[in-house]
Amino acid sequence: MPIDKSWPGYAKGKVPDLGFEWAWQDATPPDEPNRYPPQVYIPLGYEKKVLPRGWQRSPDNKPLDLDIIFEKDVEIVLRDGVKIYADVYRPAETGGGKIPVIVAYSPYGKGGSGANLMDVVPYRVGVPKSRQSGLEKFEGPDPNEWCLRGYAILDPNARGSFDSEGDLYFFGPKDGEDCYDIIEHAAAYDWCNGAVGMAGNSWLAISQYWAAMQQPPHLKAIAPWEGYSDLYRDMMRRGGILWAPFLKWVLLGVPGRGRQEDVTEMAGQHEFFDKYWESKRVDFSKITVPSYILGSYSSMLHTIGAVRAWRDTNTDRKWLRFHPHQEWYEDYHYRSVDDLDRFFTRYLKGEENGWEATPKVRVSLYRFGDRYPLYDQVETDYPIPRTQYEKLYLTSNHILQVTESNDEATHSYDSTTRDMVTYDYIFPERTMLAGFSKLRIFVSCREHNDLDMYVMLRKLSVDGEPMEQSNVPLHELPSDARSVEDVKNVNPVKYLGPTGILRASHREIDPSQSTEYWPFHPHTSTDYVEPGEVAEMNIGIWPMGVVYEKGEGLRLQISGKTMVLPEWDNPMVKHQEPLFNKGRHNVHLGGRYSGSYLLVPKV
């Protein structure tokens, strides 16, 4: 069904003027059949009713634990006249008191009428439908769970999504302005206590940053669980390398009646970090509300965003927790829900419940294989202050060692295939690595004037075999996945190790923003490597948290192709990095090129 450009909401709303043309694509109407992932379209129309205790969205879903007042397609008029639509859920009985509102903002649709990517990944990442009411929007809080705890849930369809008017932007100030208006709208309900919070994962987390930057008066707390905060460095052009397939596939699942920002086209047009990308980078100095930040190692999108949020959010009332699971599993795990409830009880209900005594930082550490991770280790800061950064030097015999070797060698791999070079280290005693790593290396290529380099750190068993980590506790998986080797090879349910990515022509470092463990690349110009020329590269590796027993090992892998597992087995997102590299990449060691090392964070 073609877009109806005569529709009053088409292209409605002012486009930000940043000195360049925006790229747009028409969305697919929400009532068009055969969406991917499958979606149910419920026609637009206001409705108010009570969903009684015991009501079920489907026979597979959890029955409601209480009577819920449900308002469908509540109209909210934003400051530029754009109308968006939200569903509102609140407990029918509140004991005569007023209650706070939790806003879950995204374009993914509302409970029962939007996309749910959990349905297309293996095992629903350990969250069976029987654990959810089916009223929750994808990656958002379940109204049944939160109404039972004394909150209301407001689930808007972002501008430009489904039947909401306007253009869909891919994050930025417009999101912040819209969320400001939604928050103030919610606070004005006569049954609301005037306190509004925000919760949710991924898109729902990132939008919280932009909302909090606008400082709406009634926003009292945010819980950004797994959200990147620099679209250039964290997602679209990490290391200077264009990466679009995953996002392009996700946007195909966001229907609307107007236009969508074509962020993949914009990423292709804007190689360098410019005004466009600046408009997509969160300014945490403007975020002052209490914040409960969640991160994980296994996310290929959000890991470093959580660290940036913890480091730069402008308040002392902030908490960081690195959990050991897939992000959606953690969203609905009872331990996490209870913890978040304590946070919101303090800041949305105003109750003195001792939340402030919660450790500021909690970090989980993987053990790999069939052993469950160490959970919620208490720390005072992140990166962990007691970290000792140790250099493991690359050697001619493909091992890593604590002393530098001057033996000269050149190791190479075919950059156009899954070929790689590796360097191993065996731990002489039990060791924990937690935080950022960095690789300093000297490289060349005779067939090209540029190199895309991908780095991964793998854990080795005492037998020298690469190990894997299940992102979902094995007891939550079907009987045919009782060992990590049985778990399907997609990133949401299996993790291999932390990664680093860098294009050689983007290797410039800004010393004023770099640290011992993290090289900051400005990405404002290119410095090509002439064929045969040797260039020094410093590649930052995203945070890790791994326990190594005596005799277990670490393997440094270097390749011209990504080594991470695909997000899921879909041809658009499965290993479709750009065909950029040519020929063989050479790693130079010793002599003039001594000093190649892997910096690791020992705690």
At 297-317, the pLDDT tens digits run 998 889 999 999 999 999 999
Estimate to the nearest angstrom the gap between the alpha carbon of 375 and the chain centroid: 20
Residue 412, classed as helix, strand or coil, is strand
Is the per-residue pLDDT at 32 higher than 90? no
Regarding predicted confidence, which is higher, 575 or 251?
251
Question: Which one-letter amino acid corresponds to residue 599?
Answer: L
Q: Domain spanning 24-358 has what CATH number?
A: 3.40.50.1820
Residue boundaries of the structural domains of the chain: 24-358, 388-602
Evaluate if residue 573 carries a pLDDT over 90.
no
Average pLDDT, stretch 262-285?
95
What is the SS3 assignment for 550?
A: coil
SS3 content of the chain, % helix, strand, coil (to 5): 20, 30, 50
Q: Is the pTM of this model over 0.85?
A: yes
Contact status, residue 307 vs residue 601, Cβ threshold 8 Å: no
In one letter, which amino acid is 43? P
**% pLDDT > 90, the chain:** 87
Contact status, residue 416 vs residue 495, Cβ threshold 8 Å: no
Average pLDDT over residues 478-495: 94
- Mean pLDDT is lowest, of 178-182, 528-532, 569-573, for 569-573
Phi and psi at residue 103, in whole multiples of 5°? -100, 130
- Mean pLDDT for the chain overall: 94
* Rounded (5°) CA angle 205-282-362: 55
Q: Which fold has domain 388-602?
A: Jelly Rolls (2.60.120)
Q: In what order do the strands lie in the sheet with 499-503?
A: 420-426, 553-559, 452-460, 499-503
Question: pLDDT confidence of 20, banded at 50, 70, 90?
Answer: confident
- Tell me the pLDDT tens digit for each residue of 327-337: 999 999 999 99
**Residue found by looking up tokens 């045919």 in the block:** 480
- With cut-offs at 50, 70 and 90, classify the pLDDT of residue 155: very high
Instruction: Read off the pLDDT of residues 187-244 as tens digits, 9 standing for 90 and up.
Output: 999 999 999 999 999 999 999 999 999 999 999 999 999 999 999 999 999 999 998 6
Q: Where are the alpha helices (DSSP H) in 286-420?
A: 303-312, 327-331, 334-347
Give residue-wise pLDDT tens across range 401-427: 999 998 999 999 999 999 999 999 999
pLDDT at position 69: 98
Segment 501-528 mean pLDDT: 98
Quick one: pLDDT at residue 569?
73
Number of Cβ within a 10 Å radius of residue 496: 21
The pLDDT value recorded for residue 571 is 66
pLDDT surpassing 90 at residue 567: no
Q: Which of 61-75, 203-217, 250-264, 295-309 has the lowest mean pLDDT?
A: 250-264
pLDDT of amino acid 572: 62
Contacts of 478-482 with CB under 8 Å at 24 or more apart are 478/123, 481/123
Cα Rg of the chain, angstroms:
24
Fold match between domain 24-358 and domain 388-602: no
- Under a CB-based contact definition with an 8 Å cutoff, are residues 229 and 208 in contact? no
Q: Give me the pLDDT at residue 35, please.
A: 65
Nearest in space to 596 (alpha carbons), one of 463, 587, 176: 587
Residue 32 in tokens: 């068009």
Whether residue 149 has pLDDT greater than 90: yes
Backbone CA torsion sign across 219, 220, 226, 228: positive
- 394: tokens are 């690359």
d(CA 206, CA 234): 12
Task: Give dist(CA 89, CA 136) in Å, integer.
Answer: 10
Give the closest residue to 155 by CA, choosing from 187, 186, 124, 117. Answer: 186
Bridge partner list, 399: 424
| CA terminus-to-terminus distance, the chain | 57
Q: State the pLDDT at residue 1.
A: 54
Residue 191: what pLDDT? 98
Q: Indicate if the pLDDT at residue 603 is higher than 60.
A: yes
pLDDT at 16 over 90: no
